[in-house]
Amino acid sequence: MPLKTTLVGLGRSLVLSALAAVNAVLFAMAALVLLLCFGFGMIFLFPAGVRLIRRRATHARRLALAWADVQIIPPYRPPPPPPMPQRDGWYREGRSLYRTSMVPNFNRTFAWMLKDPATWRDLAWLLAETLAGVLLVAPPPLLVVLGLALVPQGPLYAVIGLALASAGLLLAPRMVRLHGLWTRWLLAPTPNARLTNAIRRLEQVHTEAVDTQAAELRRIERDLHDGAQARLVAIGMTLAAAEELIDSDPRAAKALIVKVREASAASLIELRQLVRGIHPPVLAERGLRDAVRALALDSPLEVSVNVELPVRPEAPVESAAYFVVSELLANAGRHGNARHVTVDISRRGVALRITVIDDGQGGADPSRGSGLRGIERRVAAFDGVLALHSPEGGPTTASVDIPRAFAGQGACGAVVPRWKYRLLALLLGLCWLPMFPQGLVAMALKIFQVDERSWFLALYLPEPFQWPMMGTMVLLGSAMTYYAYRLSIEIRQAEAGVTV
């Protein structure tokens, strides 16, 4: 393992150990707030206390993702909508009327936080992180400090000290990873919360899909009315005029017929463009690869296309991916002033990933443009997400992931048995016991000749068996830690749809 990785892991262990002390302070404050709220009626303190705890839990989720590569989905229920005034300007809350929205809004917020199970799970996490989380991240720095302290004591102690310091450095990155898994186990949403949030998300996506479909139908109707329909009416009127002139002025009638032919050709082009905007024929006939290449040929930009799809996704997913690329290419040329664009479309397990990189001026923001918001709404129907990185000055990188684009084609992720989750929790909860109290701590007591045996099993054995027993305990704890690490990788791969 590179020295930089171990040192970074050691520094992160120190930071996480310090945050455990912060969690202890926050838990004490939360307990005081609960006592004041439900013991003395000071319920106005409850929302502020819950928001403070949620900020700390959100920060812990971000650290788990950044430092341990463990993604934790926020489990909170969506906030209630703000109260709306009646026609007379008053706000109704149950049977009571209020002049302002302050009291109804507080009542809704209080009920929302109080009834959300994630509120109490965050509070339990604060306590558990203070008591048990520190046992995962504090031992590596302690081993390094203990080892360095033993080095000046003599040759034998120097060897033991260097071994302890090396063990601390090697364990630090792995303990940070295990701490991330521990955090996910406590802060990830429960199956019931996942189901509730999924239902709410489906309702929201359904509403947005219906609105988008209605807007698309209105656009098609407007294009037909203002474009092709108007041209066809003009063609009919021109043909009627030519019919009246065909006997009296054949030359003028012939000129009108030429205009009719030109107008019909223009109408045909408009209808083809309209059909292409609904569903391009090349997409239906030849698939996403050729459809995106056709987009690249029609674009005024220099576009490089790389499509690696062994099989075609479902038609709705294909259509969404096509229009995502089309919108991103249009944005790169219209708003980004780009000259070169790279389009990469690939399959990741059962997921479809679209990455578009342009060399434009950057500064793209979904909140300021309808095009990117439209992409988010389009891919949300498939549980897809848009990730955008567009600093000022460029380049702009837009990545779209559709997680189950190939789920119906025999590439579903493996189902993880429940016993693996239980075994992982058991290993994470017990791996520290043989490694530290029965192993390393007993070694330290033995080295410093502390006359204290307490519950350290090895110290009750005869002298020749004490060191082998302590070494066995350290090896057992290390083996449990390593197996928990491998098991967590296996579970993560299975959840991501990779064959285990």
Where among 157, 189, 221 does a domain terminate? 189
Alpha carbon 81 to its chain's center: 24
Same domain for 178 and 38: yes
Are residue 310 and residue 327 in the same domain, yes or no?
yes
In this prediction, residue 58 carries a pLDDT of 93
Mean pLDDT by 10 residues, the chain (500 residues): 80 89 91 90 91 94 90 86 86 85 90 91 89 78 84 80 84 87 86 74 68 68 70 80 80 82 77 65 82 85 87 84 87 82 87 88 72 80 83 85 72 64 86 83 82 78 82 83 84 58
Residue 343 belongs to a domain: yes
β-pair type (340-348, 396-402): unpaired
Residue 206 is predicted with a pLDDT of: 67
Closest C-alpha to 438, from 420, 461, 413:
461
Distance CA 361, CA 392 (A): 6
Phi, psi dihedral angles at 2 (to 5 degrees): -60, 150
Q: Are residues 445 and 484 located together in one domain of the fold?
A: yes
Predicted confidence (pLDDT) per residue in 249-267, tens digit: 788 888 888 888 878 877 7
- Asked if residue 125 belongs to a domain, the reply is yes
Is 155 in the same domain as 225? no
Cα(30)–Cα(121) distance, rounded to whole angstroms? 13
All residues at 6 or more sequence positions from 470 whose CB lies less than 8 Å from its CB, including other chains: 438, 439, 442, 443, 446, 458
In a domain, 412, yes or no: no
Q: Are residues 301 and 247 in the same domain?
A: no
384 and 259 together in one domain: no
Is 87 a domain residue?
Answer: no
* Rg of the chain over all Cα atoms, to the nearest angstrom: 33
Number of domains in the chain: 4
Whole-number Å distance between alpha carbons of 256 and 262: 10
Residue 447 CA to residue 445 CA, distance in Å, equals 6
Encoded tokens for 446: 């033995």
Specify the pLDDT at position 274: 66
Inside any domain, residue 234? yes
Which pLDDT tens digit goes with each residue over 464-473? 778 888 888 8
Q: Tell me how crowded residue 465 is: count the other CB atoms within 10 A of its CB.
A: 12
CB-based burial of residue 157 (10 Å sphere; 0-12 exposed, 13-18 middle, 19+ buried)?
Answer: middle
303 with 271, same domain: the answer is no
- Residue 68: the pLDDT is 87
Closest CA to 362 of 343, 388, 336: 336
Indicate whether 198 and 142 sit together in one domain.
Answer: no
Residue 428's domain comprises 418-495
pLDDT value of residue 410: 46
**Dihedral over Cα of 249, 253, 256, 258: its sign:** negative
The Cα–Cα gap between 391 and 432 comes to 44
C-alpha angle with apex 33: 28 to 39, nearest 5 degrees? Answer: 120
pLDDT for the residue numbered 369: 61
Do residue 185 and residue 244 come from a single domain? no
Pairing of strands 302-308, 340-348: parallel
**Gap between the Cα atoms of 271 and 275, Å rounded:** 6
Residue 185 CA, chain-centre distance (Å), reads 17
Question: d(Cα 71, Cα 80) in Å, to the nearest integer?
Answer: 26
Distance of CA 125 to the CA centre of its chain: 21
Predicted local confidence at residue 225, as pLDDT: 67
Residues 390, 332 share a domain: yes
The residues pairing with 340 across neighbouring beta strands, listed in sequence order, are 302
pLDDT of residue 209: 64
Question: Is 136 found in the same domain as 8?
Answer: yes
